[in-house]
Amino acid sequence: MQQKRFISQPPNPSPVVEGENLTLQWRYDLEETSVFLGRILNVTDGEVGAPSVVVKQQNGMATVQSGYENLYTAAMSDSEATLTILAVPRSYDGDKYKLTITTVDFASVPSDVLEINVLCKYKESWFKQLNSLSMKCFLCVLH
């Protein structure tokens, strides 16, 4: 008998350039059962009492919780869950998220905790320019 498990999880840490959207996707095998309750939690301050940013109840759609509607979009099914963090601000650097699934047979399937790594958009731009300049210099040396 196969155990309920995650097939894939977002990378940890999950990098994103400041101001861009970040999509996190989890895929799981629930052994032909379904989601009774699914929650994506912000566990930055710990797992006890962590706020749910997304909740899905049996036969319902994933719902971004009140107060978070402008920050996230989400979808959840019996085989995968997706959370998109919109226009990620620098202040989210170090934030931690976790998906927990409870199946209709009351099995608990928690994901690993993942951390967001927000890259400064100016540093990212600077590195791209530096790499481009390095490549041009390298090509000049070859001539």
Region 101-117: mean pLDDT is 95
- Which band of pLDDT confidence, cut at 50, 70 and 90, is reported for residue 140? very low
CATH number of 5-142: 2.60.40.10
> Tokens 């409870």 sit at which residue?
102
pTM of the model: 0.82
Mean pLDDT, all residues of the chain: 88
Q: Is the model's pLDDT at 122 over the cut of 80? A: no
User: What tokens were used for 112?
Assistant: 């690993």
Q: 6-58, pLDDT tens digit by residue?
A: 999 999 999 999 999 999 999 999 998 999 999 999 999 999 999 999 999 98
